[in-house]
């Protein structure tokens, strides 16, 4: 049962778009009232307009873009499996019309750790100080439908902190086997990281010496930049945690095989929202930030809640 305070009275799950291969990377763009998301195997980025219910293709050459988020200036920061890079689309919030509607020309922010190329950045958050924190598992270089074949050039899979002010890239979490989704607590004193390694990047040749987990881990953020005291907070089952969000009360809204699972900041399960397809990711959006949009395999769903994303709330003045 879902805690009654999490959803609006009478809220029902609604499918708003369908017909895709594997939807991922949802981000709400408040300036235009649209949800941007990816169909990774389809190599396309799409936008769903909440006002008129239409879904249009932004690009059919997405280079297997995955997770994305909004930065404080309204730009979209995205993870590209194909480019093995973090990108920024500075025009994401600008109104478009006619031929201009098809313009999509993101810039590469970072694609290397020293001389080594990144693996395949998967999900990303922007801290209030402007630094960009992202996960770098190897799904995009180990699975043909999610990117291009490649090697783990720095030899592992990390969570990084990128500082655009000086161009520095620093590993902040190195002990999660397959870091996937990530989010900060409302006060940014805790960093949460999902481990999806129960589904290994290389399914055909899994390494028996490497563990397989499906938990969300928590780290204390010290000095605004160091992730310390890592611990497993919750084990998500059935399935695994992929993308997730944290609301203004600090609750974690996680993807899973069965739908959305909601956990309190101390790891107690307080909600279940069944979804008829496997869920990959989710985000809060809508004109008031209280609509939960869900990327579930072939479709996009939504349901009304009573809360907003901790990050989105700051951007919308909440």
Q: Give the residue numbers annotated as catalytic, written as ranges.
A: 242
What 149-153 contacts at long range (C-beta under 8 Å, 24+ apart), as own/partner pairs, is 150/84, 150/117, 150/119, 150/120, 152/119, 153/116, 153/117, 153/119
Quote the CA–CA distance of 197 and 210 in Å, as a whole number: 9
- Residue 180 marked as a ligand binder: yes
User: Tokens representing 255?
Assistant: 């993807």
Residues 6+ apart with CB under 8 A from 125: 69, 132, 133, 134, 182, 183, 184, 311
242 is in an annotated binding site: yes
How many CB atoms are located within 10 Å of the residue 215 CB?
A: 22
Q: Residue 162 and residue 154: Cα distance in Å, rounded?
A: 16
122 assigned binding-site residue: yes
Sign of CA dihedral 221, 131, 80, 167: negative
DSSP letters, 135-176, are: E--SHHHH-GGGS-----TTSS--EEEEETTTTEEEEEE---
Residue numbers in the known binding site for substrate are: 122
Residue numbers in the known binding site for a divalent metal cation are: 24, 180, 242
Residue numbers in the known binding site are: 24, 122, 180, 242
């Amino acid at each position: 049962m879902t805690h009654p305070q999490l959803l609006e009275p009478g809220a029902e799950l609604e499918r708003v778009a369908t017909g895709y291969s594997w939807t991922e990377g949802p981000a709400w763009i408040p300036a235009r009232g649209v949800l941007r998301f990816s169909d990774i195997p389809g190599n396309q980025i799409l936008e769903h307009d909440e006002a008129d219910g239409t879904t249009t293709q932004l690009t059919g050459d997405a280079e297997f873009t995955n997770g994305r988020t909004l930065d404080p200036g309204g730009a979209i920061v995205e993870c590209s499996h194909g480019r093995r890079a973090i990108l920024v689309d500075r025009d994401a919030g600008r109104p478009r019309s006619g031929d201009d509607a098809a313009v999509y020309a993101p810039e590469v922010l970072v694609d290397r750790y020293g001389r080594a190329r990144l693996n395949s950045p998967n999900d990303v958050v922007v801290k209030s100080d402007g630094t960009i924190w992202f996960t770098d598992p190897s799904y995009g270089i180990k699975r043909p439908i999610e990117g291009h074949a490649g090697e783990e050039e720095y030899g592992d899979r990390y969570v990084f902190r990128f500082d655009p002010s000086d161009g520095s890239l620093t590993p902040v979490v190195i002990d999660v086997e397959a870091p996937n989704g990530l989010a900060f607590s409302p006060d940014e004193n805790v960093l949460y990281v999902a481990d999806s390694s129960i589904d290994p990047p290389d399914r055909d040749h899994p390494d028996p010496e490497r563990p397989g987990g499906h938990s969300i881990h928590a780290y204390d953020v010290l000095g605004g930049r160091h992730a310390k005291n890592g611990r497993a907070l919750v084990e998500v089952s059935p399935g695994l945690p992929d993308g997730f969000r944290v609301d203004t009360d600090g609750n974690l809204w996680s993807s899973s095989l069965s739908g959305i699972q909601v956990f309190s900041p101390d790891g107690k399960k307080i909600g279940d929202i069944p979804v008829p397809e496997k869920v990959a990711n989710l985000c809060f959006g809508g004109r008031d930030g209280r609509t939960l949009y869900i990327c579930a395999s072939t479709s996009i769903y939504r349901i009304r809640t009573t809360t907003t994303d901790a990050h989105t709330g700051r951007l919308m003045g909440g």
